[in-house]
């Protein structure tokens, strides 16, 4: 197996992320991640992709992270988010991705969902979390009204505006400002991060 130095191959910068796969280095550009998505999924795609960029940096201190080693747990069930995670890691295609099952957020986006991810390379886990307060309270209120069929006039236009603004901001602000990363012990494939407060409360 070829080892690629992260000093030679920058793991993530601007609009791309790099990852080793099958003894070659893949440079994955964000525009290709969004190519098959409609505008309504751009926010989920952006936050998922940026989360994987910071995971790449955290797991590539000396050598570039490798697809073959990865297992991903997502606290967010949104289609755009999961597609972005898979675009970078390939974990969903390889049955190495798990989505936390929140009983109050089953395959729908509402205020109960988590903007949190665990990315394990077999030796350590990068726990990535969108900073508190990044998503405005009003956005969560709009999601809840949509999820529970309580929309009012003007909600759709305002919802789109929120997503455009958050998507733009997440690209212009530094990764380190928008996300926190904590290095944890490794997870086994299929394992749930039981140390997480939400999971402990609902388990």
- The order of strands in the sheet holding 16-21 is 12-13, 16-21, 24-29
pLDDT value, residue 160 = 85
Strands 71-74 and 97-99: parallel
Instruction: Render pLDDT for 79-122 as a digit per residue (tens, 0 to 9).
Output: 899 999 999 999 999 999 999 876 665 555 666 788 999 999 99
Alpha carbons 64 and 9: distance in angstroms, whole number: 7
pLDDT value, residue 40 = 55
Alpha carbons 74 and 67: distance in angstroms, whole number: 16
User: Quick one: pLDDT band at residue 199, thresholds 50, 70, 90?
Assistant: very low
Coil, strand or helix at 2: coil
pLDDT value, residue 188 = 94
pLDDT value, residue 53 = 98
pLDDT value, residue 42 = 80
* Percentage of the chain modeled with pLDDT above 90: 63
Q: 134: which 2 tokens?
A: 């990044």
Residue 23 has pLDDT above 90, yes or no: yes
pLDDT value, residue 163 = 86
Closest residue by Cα to residue 98 from 131, 124, 70, 65? 70
pLDDT value, residue 202 = 37
pLDDT value, residue 101 = 75
35-59 average pLDDT score: 86
Alpha carbons 50 and 16: distance in angstroms, whole number: 9
Instruction: Render pLDDT for 159-197 as a digit per residue (tens, 0 to 9).
Output: 888 888 999 999 999 999 999 999 999 999 999 997 554
pLDDT value, residue 195 = 57
User: Quick one: pLDDT band at residue 200, thresholds 50, 70, 90?
Assistant: very low
Question: Which domains, and CATH codes, for the chain?
Answer: 12-188 (3.30.1330.130)
Report the chain's mean pLDDT, rounded to a whole number: 88
Residue pointed to by tokens 């409360």: 201
């Amino acid at each position: 197996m070829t080892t690629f130095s992260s000093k030679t191959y920058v793991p993530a910068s601007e609009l791309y992320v790099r990852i080793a796969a099958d003894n070659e280095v893949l440079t994955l550009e964000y525009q290709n991640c969004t190519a098959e998505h409609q505008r309504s999924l751009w926010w989920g795609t952006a936050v998922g992709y940026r989360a994987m960029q910071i995971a790449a940096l955290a797991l590539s201190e000396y050598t570039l992270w490798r697809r073959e080693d990865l297992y991903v747990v997502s606290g967010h069930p949104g289609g755009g988010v999961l597609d972005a995670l898979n675009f970078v890691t390939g974990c969903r295609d390889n049955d190495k991705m798990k989505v936390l099952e929140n009983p109050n957020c089953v395959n729908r986006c509402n205020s109960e969902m988590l903007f949190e991810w665990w990315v394990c390379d077999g030796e350590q886990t990068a726990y990535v979390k969108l900073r508190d307060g990044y998503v405005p309270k009003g956005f969560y209120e709009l999601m809840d009204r949509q999820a529970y069929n309580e929309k009012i006039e003007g909600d759709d236009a305002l919802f789109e505006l929120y997503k455009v603004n958050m998507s733009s901001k997440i690209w212009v602000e530094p990764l380190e400002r928008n996300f926190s990363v904590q290095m944890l012990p490794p997870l086994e494939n299929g394992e749930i991060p039981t140390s997480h407060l939400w999971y402990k409360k609902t388990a």
